[in-house]
Amino acid sequence: MPLKSFIDVPRESHFPIQNLPFGIFRPRTGAARVGVAIGEYVVDLAALEQKEHFALGQDRQLFSTDSLNAFLALGRPAWRETRAILQHLLAADTPTLRDDSALRDRVFYAQKDVTMQLPARIGDYTDFYSSYHHAHNVGTMLRGPENALMPNWKWLPVAYHGRASSIVVSGTEVRRPHGQIKPPDTSAPVLGPTKSLDYELEMAFLIGPGNSLGEPVAIDRAIDHIFGFVLMNDWSARDIQAWEYQPLGPFLAKNFCTSISPWVVTLEALEPFRKPLLPQDPAPLPYLHLTNDFTYDIHLEARLQTAKLNVPHIITRTNFQSLYWSISQQLAHHAVSGCNLQPGDLLASGTISGAAEESRGCMLELTWRGANPLKLPNGETRKWLEDGDELTITGWCEEDGYRVGFGEVAGRVLPPL
């Protein structure tokens, strides 16, 4: 018998009692605080904390704050305890909240009545490049199929350090960026708005407890440092990227905006959806080898809404499971130099593409650098995103009778200044 709540949760909801993702919300009146989503509601953890429903050490202000960072730093025992308390309080046969309408009025908000903020103060942000099919497709465009993958790709999870200050929460509009672009028929570059704005369908995880500077994290302890996942759109300007990226990688092409979904789905909620990691050949070096390493079965979609389309059109259908490198490998590699990860750091997967054409996670691949424009149901075509287009990424896991979902990350493109 699956766990049930006294809150009515529709079957297709992303937020049943099995999920309970954490986020930061602001009610119409009052300060931002920590909440957990269930069905169409938010549970106010600050209100529950004041009623002493949580006993997580001495800190009585853990949830009356506008970021998850303090909670993230506590680590998995505190996360598990909080989740257990919440699942108990929300269960169909627990009267504490169910039968106390005054307490319920103080604790529950309708999601439509609150504003979601970034879940954490993100100090540092890293973006990996862990999808084999994405790396292979992009490498094929640049170097041909024989040299698609660089020699290091199957030995280490390639990444770059991104820009944390321009990470925004879902719903924030994205301004078409300016940068240097080098037209093929001229010898000098020009400064101008990008003509090839793209999305990248990604997921990203938030770091819990960090590691000290100089002290690597063993791969069998990597998971202790990971709290949970959000959806991410790594907005990218391909023409700026093409001119600037050698030899140090992307810079302005990706530092203008990165969008994430507001609800953080915990590894506890994702546990039923673990799958074995795909085989790796060559075998990774010992510091990247984890017996029974795993990934998750998470269905992911991107949909495009133009000013003229009646309904959004799904342009990517893919799965997190197709990634080559695991989250444990990404974290262990990140820290093997002694780099100190800190609570609230964000580590992203890279664009998630599968083998099928419809599973390509960005327009660069879907249109093969603009050579095969997307055809939309109303006759419109797209090589890249246009001003006014809205791109939304969603994702969920599914079991008998319920979904553990991530909500969505959406953003609309504004014309350049």
- Active-site positions read 134
CB of 134 to Mn ion, least distance (A): 9
DSSP 64-130: SSS-SHHHHHH-HHHHHHHHHHHHHHHBTT-HHHHT-HHHHHHHEEEGGGSEEE-SS----EEEE--
| Between 15 and 129, CB nearer to Mn ion | 129
* Terminal CA-CA length for the chain: 56
Q: Work out how close the CB of 64 gets to Mn ion at its nearest, in angstroms, rounded to a whole number.
A: 34
Which one among 44, 49, 124, 234 touches Mn ion, defined by CB under 5 A? 234
- Chain positions 124 to 163 lying near Mn ion, rule: CB under 5 A, are 127
Q: Which is nearer to Mn ion, 49 or 127 (CB)?
A: 127
Identify which of residues 200 and 268 has a Cβ nearer to Mn ion in the complex. Answer: 200
**Residue 238, amino acid:** R
Residue 234 or 301 with smaller CB distance to Mn ion: 234
Helix, strand, coil percent content, the chain, rounded in steps of 5? 25, 30, 45
| Tokens 């974290």 belong to residue | 331
The helix (H) or strand (E) run that includes residue 204 is strand 201-207
Say how far apart CA 384 and CA 381 lie, in whole Å: 9
Q: Residue 157 Cβ, how far from Mn ion at the closest point, in Å?
A: 13
Q: Applying CB under 5 A, what is the total number of residues that bind Mn ion?
A: 3
The CA-atom distances, in angstroms, between 22 and each of 191, 229, 335 are 42, 10, 26
Q: How far apart are CA 289 and CA 308, in angstroms?
A: 50
Nearest residue to the partner Mn ion, using Cβ: 234
Please say which residue, 169 or 364, places its beta carbon nearer to Mn ion.
364
What x-and-dash track marks residues 262-281 binding Mn ion by CB under 5 A?
A: --------------------
Q: Segment contacting Mn ion (CB under 5 A): 31-39, 70-78, 233-241, 265-273?
A: 233-241
Q: Cα separation of 46 and 63, whole Å?
A: 5
| Rg of the chain in Å (alpha carbons) | 22
Piece in contact with Mn ion (CB under 5 A), picked from 122-130, 167-175, 261-269, 400-408:
122-130
Q: Which is nearer to Mn ion, 111 or 130 (CB)?
A: 130
Enumerate residues 284-343 that contact Mn ion by CB under 5 A: none
CB of 178 to Mn ion, least distance (A): 20
Report the nearest approach of Mn ion to the CB of residue 128 (Å): 8
- Smallest distance from the beta carbon of 352 to Mn ion, in angstroms? 10
Tokens (6 digits) for 42: 């938010």
Inter-residue contact 306 to 380 (CB < 8 Å): yes
Among the residue ranges 37-45, 120-128, 287-295, 315-323, the one whose residues contact Mn ion (CB under 5 A): 120-128
Q: Strand, helix or coil at 139?
A: helix
Give the 3-state secondary structure of 155-198: CCCCEEECCCCCEEECCCCEECCEEEECCCCCCCCEEEECCCEE
Site string for Mn ion, 177-216 (x = CB under 5 A): -----------------------x----------------
CB of 138 to Mn ion, least distance (A): 11
Q: Which is nearer to Mn ion, 44 or 127 (CB)?
A: 127
Q: Is 365 in the site for Mn ion (CB under 5 A)?
A: no
Binding residues for Mn ion (CB under 5 A): 127, 200, 234
